[in-house]
């Protein structure tokens, strides 16, 4: 679908904002055991009349949970599990000595501003030019200026050379890096996903990528999958579509072809460990038609 500049801006805003709104709302969960750690998310949300407004206001954030779970069952709890799991992997990689963090399709990711573990780590926020510009505007509003410790790199994954743009921003391809691709792969054409993952597969030994993906075969028959029919409808209503995924049960093979070896692959069942309340009850069910893979560059 051809979109004019205004629609593209709205679209970039709504997908990145939608994820941030879920984090803002879930960062107010009363039980710390299932709380989203992204306490900055609400500050990135623009003040306008939509669900994100409710996510911005502390008293009404509970409404967001109810509305989000009715619109797309599993979305709220998936966001809690995804943020917490990805934070854990980021911490683990930094503790193991990785000195570069590249957030691909960063949106309103706040890790560079809220994780003390990242002090001394070079952070690159890569995003589509439209979203990247919006993010910098919001950062100025939140912090008074655009933080100097992060490099903002404008890249369209369907057109631009990621390696060239990153190198121009100071990325060192001779040193290991952790790449994070959160909430992005399903929106990209299959070719762009393969190219991006394949490029990561050729980076310095020790490098790895953490990303969430959907099962491509689930798109053909969404009915058995919790939340998928509603997600497809919601994404279409925003003028977007889910374009790519990995065949169910083939993640290892898919990534091996691209030079990457799976270290972990979190499914809906495993996500329960992030959704278990202090009293031992599993409090929420995330949608379950994909996974969150962490894969490392294979020894050559």
Site map for ligand SAM, 169-188, x if CB under 6 A? -------------xxx--xx
Q: How many residues does the chain have?
A: 300
Beta carbon of residue 59, minimum distance to ligand SAM (angstroms, whole number) = 24
Q: Locate 240 and state its tokens.
A: 């977007």
44, 157, 179, 254: which one contacts ligand SAM (CB under 6 A)?
157
12, 24, 258, 297: which one contacts ligand SAM (CB under 6 A)?
12
Beta carbon of residue 191, minimum distance to ligand SAM (angstroms, whole number) = 11
3-class secondary structure, 265: strand
Stretch that binds ligand SAM, among 49-57, 67-75, 143-151, 154-162 (CB under 6 A): 154-162
Of residues 185 and 268, the one with the C-beta less far from ligand SAM: 185
Beta carbon of residue 253, minimum distance to ligand SAM (angstroms, whole number) = 26
| Residue 71 to residue 82: CA distance in whole angstroms | 19
Identify the DSSP state of 274. Answer: G
Bridge partner list, 151:
124
What residues between 27 and 66 interact with ligand SAM by CB under 6 A? none
3-class secondary structure, 225: coil
DSSP secondary structure of 106-131: -TT--HHHH-GGGTT-EEEEEE-HHH
| Residue 12 to residue 154: CA distance in whole angstroms | 13
Beta carbon of residue 237, minimum distance to ligand SAM (angstroms, whole number) = 15
The DSSP bridge pattern shows strands 260-266 and 100-104 to be unpaired
Site membership for ligand SAM, residue 107 (CB under 6 A): yes
Beta carbon of residue 15, minimum distance to ligand SAM (angstroms, whole number) = 4
């Amino acid at each position: 679908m051809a979109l004019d500049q205004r629609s593209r801006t709205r679209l970039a805003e709504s997908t990145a904002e939608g994820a941030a709104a879920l984090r803002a709302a879930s960062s107010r969960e009363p039980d710390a055991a299932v709380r989203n750690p992204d306490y900055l998310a609400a500050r990135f949300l623009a003040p306008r009349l939509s669900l994100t407004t409710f996510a911005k206001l502390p008293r009404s954030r509970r409404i967001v949970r109810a509305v989000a779970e009715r619109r797309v069952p599993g979305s709220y709890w998936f966001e809690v599990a995804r943020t917490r799991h990805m934070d854990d992997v980021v911490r683990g990689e930094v503790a193991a000595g990785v000195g570069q963090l590249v957030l691909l399709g960063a949106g309103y990711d706040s890790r560079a501003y809220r994780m003390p573990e990242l002090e001394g780590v070079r952070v690159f926020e890569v995003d589509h030019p439209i979203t990247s510009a919006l993010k910098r505007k919001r950062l100025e509003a939140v912090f008074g200026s655009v933080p100097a410790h992060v490099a903002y790199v404008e890249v369209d994954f369907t057109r631009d050379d990621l390696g060239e743009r990153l190198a121009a921003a100071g990325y060192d391809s001779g040193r290991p890096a952790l790449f994070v691709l959160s909430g992005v792969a399903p929106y990209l054409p299959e070719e762009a996903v393969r190219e991006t993952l394949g490029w990561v597969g050729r980076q310095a030994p020790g490098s790895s990528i953490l990303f969430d993906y959907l099962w491509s075969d689930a798109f053909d028959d969404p009915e058995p999958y919790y939340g998928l029919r509603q997600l497809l409808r919601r994404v279409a209503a925003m003028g977007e579509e889910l374009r790519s995924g990995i065949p169910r049960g083939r993640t290892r093979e898919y990534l091996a072809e691209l030079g990457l070896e799976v270290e972990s692959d979190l499914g809906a069942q495993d996500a329960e460990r992030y959704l278990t309340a202090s009293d031992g009850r599993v409090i929420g069910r995330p949608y379950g038609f994909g996974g969150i893979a962490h894969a490392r560059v294979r020894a050559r």
